């Protein structure tokens, strides 16, 4: 496997937006309202991730983008907490360990930037991703934290960093 994990670039915007939205369709998410699917920032992730203490990573193999994952200092999260965001893969990339690589790179960056916790929001339809979160030590929360603007998400998890 010759997958490269790199920072996102402006020219990645269109394909990343497509990967994100296609994932919702692949997993037959019933409602996209209040999710990243309808979030206007999904179409310009490069600009979004210019925010200080944020980073979006892209998995690429032989010039083909396979997915993304990053961290973002979502408004009103507890102090020293970042959100794991935009964790999506193409159908062809799933089940090959690429998601794990992207998530580990994102968590590593969170530690490097001094964060003490990583928070995330998801949906039951993304059960494969949720099982990865569980294996990586994320714990369930009873309610959302911060102000992601993604009110359609119904699963919330957090992980303390070592």
Looking at the chain, the number of H-run helices and the number of E-run strands are 4, 7
**Angle, CA 66 vertex, CA 51 and CA 150 arms, to 5°:** 45
Answer yes or no: is pLDDT of 29 > 80: yes
Rounded to whole angstroms, how far apart are CA atoms 55 and 19? 18
Predicted confidence at residue 142, as pLDDT, reads 96
Predicted confidence at residue 162, as pLDDT, reads 84
What's the whole-number mean pLDDT along residues 24-30? 92
Write down the mean pLDDT value for the chain: 95
Rounded to whole angstroms, how far apart are CA atoms 43 and 16? 8
Q: Tell me if 106 sits within 8 A of 138, measured CB to CB.
A: no
What's the whole-number mean pLDDT along residues 41-63? 97
Answer yes or no: is pLDDT of 33 > 90: no
Predicted confidence at residue 1, as pLDDT, reads 58
Answer yes or no: is pLDDT of 77 > 90: yes
Task: Work out the pLDDT band at 21, boundaries 50, 70, 90.
Answer: very high
pLDDT digits (tens, 9 = 90+) for 134-152: 999 999 999 999 999 888 8
């Amino acid at each position: 496997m010759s997958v490269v994990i790199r920072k996102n670039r402006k020219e990645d915007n269109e394909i990343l937006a497509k990967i994100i939205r296609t994932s919702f369709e692949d997993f037959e998410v019933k409602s996209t309202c209040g999710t990243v699917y309808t979030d206007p920032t999904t179409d310009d992730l490069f600009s979004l991730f210019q925010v200080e203490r944020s980073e979006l990573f892209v998995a690429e193999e032989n010039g083909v983008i396979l997915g993304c994952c990053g961290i973002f200092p979502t408004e009103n999260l507890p102090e020293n907490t970042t959100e794991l965001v935009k964790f999506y893969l193409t159908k062809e990339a799933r089940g090959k360990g690429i998601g794990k690589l992207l998530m580990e790179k994102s968590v590593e960056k969170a530690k490097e930037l001094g964060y003490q916790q990583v928070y995330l929001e998801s949906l039951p339809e993304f059960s494969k991703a949720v099982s990865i979160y569980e294996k990586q030590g994320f714990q369930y929360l009873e309610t959302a934290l911060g102000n992601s603007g993604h009110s359609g998400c119904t699963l919330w998890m957090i992980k303390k960093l070592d």
